[in-house]
Amino acid sequence: GVQLSTGYFLNLNKDTIMDLRFNPDYGDVDIYVEGNLIQTIQRDIDYLKHYKYDCNEQLASKLSALISEQELCKISGKKCRNEKDIRKITDKLYSNQNYNGGWGWWKSSSSSAEMTTYILKTLVKLESNAILAKSISMAQSYLISLLDKSDYAMQLRILDVLTYDNNNLAIGLLK
C-alpha cells in the first residue's frame, strides 16, 4: 500500500479561529501547532529519517534530511550526531550504483536519468572524499551520455544537476 500525506502550513496572527472539516474516509488527522519554523522542519526531518522503505529514492530523501539536520544544528549551535547515519546511507547508495554510473529505483534496477539526477543532487551536498568523488564522476558521465538521447525537459534536468558541484561541466557542454 501507499501512504498519502497532505498538509497545509498556515501562519496564524494574533487570535485566530478556524473551522476545520475533514473527510472521515481518509482516516485519522494530526494537527500540529508549533511556535517556530525550525520545529516544523525538524519534525519533517525526523519523519524522513525514520521512513521504513529503502529504495534509492527514499535513501536519497533520507540523506537529504540528514544533511538538512546538520544545517539546522549549525544554525542553532547544537552538536549534530548523524554522521553514522549519513555514512550508512551513502554506503548503500554507492553499493546500489550501477556499473554505468546511474541508479535505478532499487539496487538491481536499470539506471534511469530521473533517479540518477535525484540522487546526484543530494550527493553533491556532501563533503567530498575519494569514494564520493568517484561515484559523482560516474553519475555525471552516465548523465552526459544521455544528453542527446533525452527530451528537452530531461536535458534541462541533466544540465541543471551537472552545475551543482561547481565544476562547470554543464557550461563546458554548452560551448
Complete DSSP assignment for 35-100 = SSHHHHHHHHHHHHHT-S--SHHHHHHHHHHHHHHHHHHHHHTPPP--HHHHHHHHHHHHHH--TT
pLDDT tens per residue across span 76-117: 898 989 999 999 999 999 999 999 999 999 998 999 999 999
Residues 65-84: b if buried by 16+ CB within 10 A, e if exposed? bbbbbbeeeeeeeeeeebee
pLDDT score of 1: 53
pLDDT score of 51: 82
Is the pLDDT assigned to residue 136 strictly greater than 90? yes
pLDDT tens per residue across span 19-37: 888 888 888 888 877 777 7
Q: How many helices (H) and strands (E) does the chain have?
A: 7, 0
What are the angstrom distances between the C-alpha of 167 and each of 99, 134, 162? 23, 14, 8
DSSP state of 103: B
For residue 115, the surrounding DSSP H or E stretch is helix 113-123
Q: Are 167 and 128 in contact, with CB atoms under 8 Å apart? A: no
Is the pLDDT assigned to residue 151 strictly greater than 60? yes
DSSP state of 127: P
State mean pLDDT over 155-173: 74
Q: Which three cell numbers stand for residue 97?
A: 550504483
Q: Pick 51 or 172 by higher pLDDT.
A: 51
pLDDT score of 138: 96
Q: How far apart are CA 34 and CA 117, in angstroms?
A: 34
With bands split at pLDDT 50, 70 and 90, how would you rate the model's confidence at 49? confident
pLDDT score of 143: 97
pLDDT score of 118: 97
